[in-house]
């Protein structure tokens, strides 16, 4: 195992990978996979040693039997990730790091199982001539007797399905239907929100609120944070809105650092629990709209976790006031939906503004260029850079701007003078402009060349991102006119354009089928392996549903990996049954004999993997949400595939093999009953 895992790091620079959460996920899951090949080899060698062969002879005989299975398992677990390695976008990048990490470690494990493991088995394994005494010996003896009894009951139970192989096909069909029902009932998600130990708080006061008033509200929020359990420190920024990246005196932002994860064990001290508690307290402050927000799981996709939804004016004819009315209608309707927790937009057409109308015709008549009018206003009111000069060995910059007392009132604009190019006289702007007061917006967005109103928010507790986006689209359809359209940005856009899981899942099965067909030189026998695939889907979806998770990217990655793991169990039985059948056994007897002999290694390899993912299920701290979801999916998927697969796979082999034989009379040979010990399939 160390050779396979450490050897995987050699390929990281070649593939451009880094040691990150996804690659570590792959290595953690690979721990339970790479030991499988060695377990299969050691168990086969030990089986022959117990039947009287020397260690070297037992190793030679075991490798003749399991080499094909080891190669097949390695190729299957690698081939299942081939389709996902070519996906594009953010989802494809996440698939690639995870998939290729596992594929490389599995191939290295197969190489070790075919070279190092046989050598070590021949050197270290010895026949057990005497029974081990003491408590440990009694435990071994009791365990072996119990396992032999369990194997006997298992073979007798499998016997009924093998003799009535059509039942296994009906069971598989039923499992596929149940997997589909569970899969469609799960809420759709993308990437789960993580507790990263930090969070933010957004504060928005009414339009035209002063920075002094914003600071007073920030002080109230600080008092609440000082008394909040789980908060270690915070930093306040007045006049800046992190969610919208805008500088306005009525905006404020707080960055909150939480205490270390080992000091926050209860759900109330998780970042989601702390945000829920703070939201209730912030609702008691009537001076502003205040809401906490989580940090995005993947950096570079916005400042806040949640969704980014944009209303767009595709007609280009709506005024700012009309956009404001439509955005208010949308906000009021969306806040009534239970799927939507927070909903916020920085677009507000109620900011008091001063409108300056320039009489361009009059300015042309008096010889004042239009651009000089606006340059003069910009310099006097906002200031402009003139030049630099050196004095006392230092560089000074020169800016020109009117003193504050001459730019306090709107009427001060009329006292600005510009020079006429025709008369060379100074002309006051009061003779050229008309000054009025009106309301407008401080921020206007354009998205895809269309004027847009951006909404930020987060799903309500208990709802997934897919449900929230669907609710937003329904609200849009109910409230917006035909001149409007909508779009997504940042993480929400990635979720909407992510390739669907269904075609990727099917394509992975197709690759496995083609590889098995080449391995067995048969178009029928691969079905005996692949008919176990619905079992893993049922187990994974059931586990995710049971634990209350959504169907996100990590569940989809786990399902694809489980296809290869389910095929691994099936290969261990089918490979041996095929060999026994070719030696002269009947199809039913070969299936039962392979089930009896492969029962122990299947359980050993399956439980090695199942127990290996329990730490993922129980993980806490940074990245715990993704680990919990993936660990749950692969744990339950492998559990169901193992306990149901050991009964169904022998029946699948019998059904598929006999189905091929029943088609043989159709080539012109007189029909005859199928003999009990027929020849091996072609």
Instruction: Of 255, 327, 328, 252, give the one whose Cα is nearest residue 290.
Output: 252
Q: What is the pLDDT of residues 363-403, one digit of tens each?
A: 999 999 999 999 999 999 988 999 999 988 899 999 999 99
Q: Is the pLDDT score of 670 beyond 80?
A: no
What pLDDT, on a 0 to 100 scale, did the predictor assign at position 358?
Answer: 92
Name the CATH code of domain 306-349+441-495 (choices 3.30.479.30, 3.30.70.1440, 1.20.140.10, 3.40.1280.10): 3.30.70.1440
Instruction: Of 57, 132, 102, give the one whose Cα is nearest residue 508.
Output: 102
Q: Is 249 exposed, middle or buried (0-12, 13-18, 19+ CB in 10 A)?
A: middle
What pLDDT, on a 0 to 100 scale, did the predictor assign at position 1?
Answer: 67
| Full DSSP string of 456-483 | EEEEPTT--HHHHHHHHHHHHHHH--TT
Q: What is the pLDDT of residues 587-619, one digit of tens each?
A: 888 888 888 888 888 888 888 888 888 888 888
Q: Is the pLDDT score of 663 beyond 60?
A: no
Distance CA 604, CA 602 (A): 5
Q: What is the pLDDT of residues 411-465, one digit of tens each?
A: 899 999 999 998 889 999 999 999 998 888 887 888 888 899 999 888 888 888 8
Q: At 81, is the secondary structure helix, strand, or coil?
A: coil
Distance CA 233, CA 235 (A): 7
What is the DSSP code (8-state) at residue 316?
S
Question: Mean pLDDT over all residues of the chain?
Answer: 84
Is there a contact between 427 and 366 (Cβ–Cβ < 8 Å)?
yes
What pLDDT, on a 0 to 100 scale, did the predictor assign at position 133?
Answer: 59
What pLDDT, on a 0 to 100 scale, did the predictor assign at position 434?
Answer: 92
Residue 379's DSSP bridge partners are none
Instruction: Select the more confidently predicted residue: 658 or 178.
Output: 178
Distance CA 317, CA 366 (A): 34
Instruction: Of 285, 282, 267, give the one whose Cα is nearest residue 293.
Output: 282
Residue 419's DSSP bridge partners are 426
What is the DSSP code (8-state) at residue 498?
S
Q: What is the pLDDT of residues 211-259, one digit of tens each?
A: 999 999 999 999 999 999 989 999 999 988 888 888 889 999 999 999 9
- Residue extents of the structural domains in the chain: 2-190+498-667, 195-302, 306-349+441-495, 365-434
Distance CA 178, CA 184 (A): 10
pTM: 0.78
- Confidence label for 671 from pLDDT (cuts 50, 70 and 90): very low
Is there a contact between 445 and 323 (Cβ–Cβ < 8 Å)?
no
Distance CA 319, CA 309 (A): 20
Fold match between domain 306-349+441-495 and domain 365-434: no
Distance CA 418, CA 426 (A): 5
Question: What share of the chain in percent tops pLDDT 90?
Answer: 22
What are the two backbone dihedrals, phi and then psi, of residue 460, each rounded to the nearest 5 degrees? -70, 160
Is there a contact between 464 and 550 (Cβ–Cβ < 8 Å)?
yes
CB atoms within 10 A of CB 317: 8
Instruction: Given CATH 2.60.40.1180, say whether it is the number of domain 195-302.
Output: no
What pLDDT, on a 0 to 100 scale, did the predictor assign at position 660?
Answer: 56
Q: How far apart are the first and last CA of the chain?
A: 37
Phi-psi group of 150: left, alpha or beta (phi > 0 → left; psi -120 to 50 → alpha; rest → beta): alpha
| The CATH number of the domain covering residues in 365-434 | 3.30.2090.10
Q: Looking at the structure, give the CATH architecture of the domain made up of residues 2-190+498-667.
A: Up-down Bundle (1.20)
Is there a contact between 453 and 323 (Cβ–Cβ < 8 Å)?
yes
């Amino acid at each position: 195992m160390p050779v396979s895992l450490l050897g995987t790091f050699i390929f990281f620079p070649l593939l451009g990978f880094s040691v990150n959460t996804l690659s570590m996920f792959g290595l953690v899951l690979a721990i339970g996979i790479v030991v499988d090949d060695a377990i299969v080899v050691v168990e086969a060698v030990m089986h022959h040693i117990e039947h009287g062969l020397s260690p070297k002879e037992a190793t030679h005989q075991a490798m003749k039997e399991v080499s094909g299975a080891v190669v097949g398992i390695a190729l299957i677990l690698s081939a299942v990730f081939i389709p996902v390695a070519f996906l594009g976008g953010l989802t494809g990048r996440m698939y690639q790091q995870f998939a290729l990490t596992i594929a490389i470690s599995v191939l290295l494990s197969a190489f070790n199982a075919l070279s190092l493991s046989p050598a070590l088995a021949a050197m270290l394994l010895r026949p057990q001539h005497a029974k081990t005494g003491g408590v440990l010996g009694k435990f071994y003896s009791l365990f072996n007797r119990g396992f032999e009894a369990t194997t006997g009951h298992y073979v007798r139970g499998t016997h009924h399905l093998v003799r009535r192989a059509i039942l296994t096909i009906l069971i598989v069909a039923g499992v596929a239907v149940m997997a589909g029902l569970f899969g469609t009932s799960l809420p759709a998600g993308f990437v789960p929100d993580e507790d990263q130990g930090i969070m933010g708080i957004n504060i928005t006061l009414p339009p035209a609120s002063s920075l002094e008033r914003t600071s007073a509200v920030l002080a109230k929020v600080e008092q609440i944070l000082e008394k909040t359990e789980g908060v270690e420190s915070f930093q306040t920024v007045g006049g800046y809105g992190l969610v919208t990246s805008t500088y306005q005196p009525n905006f404020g932002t707080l960055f909150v650092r939480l205490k270390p994860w080992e000091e926050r064990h209860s759900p109330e001290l998780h970042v989601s629990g702390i945000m829920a508690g703070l939201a209730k307290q912030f609702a008691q402050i009537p001076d502003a709209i205040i809401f906490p927000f989580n940090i995005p799981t993947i950096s570079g996709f916005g400042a806040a976790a949640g969704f980014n939804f944009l209303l767009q004016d595709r007609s280009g004819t709506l005024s700012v006031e009309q956009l404001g009315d439509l955005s208010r209608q949308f906000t009021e309707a969306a806040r009534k939906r239970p799927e939507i927790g927070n909903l916020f937009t920085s677009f507000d057409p109620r900011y008091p503004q001063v409108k300056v109308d320039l009489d361009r015709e009059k300015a042309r008549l008096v010889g004042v260029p239009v651009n000089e009018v606006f340059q003069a206003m910009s310099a006097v009111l906002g200031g402009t850079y003139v030049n630099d000069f050196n004095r006392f060995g230092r560089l000074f910059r020169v800016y020109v701007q009117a003193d504050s007392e001459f730019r306090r009132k709107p009427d001060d604009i009329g006292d600005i003078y510009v020079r006429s190019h025709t008369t060379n006289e100074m002309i006051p702007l009061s003779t050229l402009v008309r000054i009025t007061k009106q309301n407008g917006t401080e921020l206007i967005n354009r998205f895809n060349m269309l004027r847009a109103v951006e909404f930020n928010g987060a799903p309500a507790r208990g709802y997934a991102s897919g449900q929230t986006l669907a609710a937003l689209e329904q609200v849009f359809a109910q409230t917006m006119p035909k001149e409007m359209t909508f779009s997504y940005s940042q993480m929400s856009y990635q979720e909407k354009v992510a390739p669907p899981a269904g075609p990727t899942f099917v394509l992975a099965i197709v690759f496995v089928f083609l590889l098995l067909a080449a391995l067995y030189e048969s178009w029928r026998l691969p079905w005996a392996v692949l008919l176990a695939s619905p079992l893993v889907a049922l187990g994974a979806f059931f586990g995710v549903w049971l634990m209350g998770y959504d169907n996100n990217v990590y569940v989809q990655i786990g399902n694809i990996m489980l296809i290869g793991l389910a095929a691994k169990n099936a290969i261990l039985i089918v490979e041996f049954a095929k060999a026994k059948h070719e030696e002269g056994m009947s199809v039913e007897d070969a299936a039962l004999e392979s089930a009896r002999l492969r029962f122990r290694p299947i359980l050993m390899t399956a439980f090695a993997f199942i127990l290996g993912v329990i730490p993922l299920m129980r993980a806490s701290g940074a990245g715990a949400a993704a680990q919990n979801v993936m660990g749950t999916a692969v744990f339950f998927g492998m559990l169901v595939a193992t306990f149901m697969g050991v009964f169904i796979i022998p029946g699948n082999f019998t059904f598929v093999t006999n189905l091929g034989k029943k088609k043989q009379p159709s080539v012109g040979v007189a029909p005859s009953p199928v003999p009990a010990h027929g020849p091996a399939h072609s």
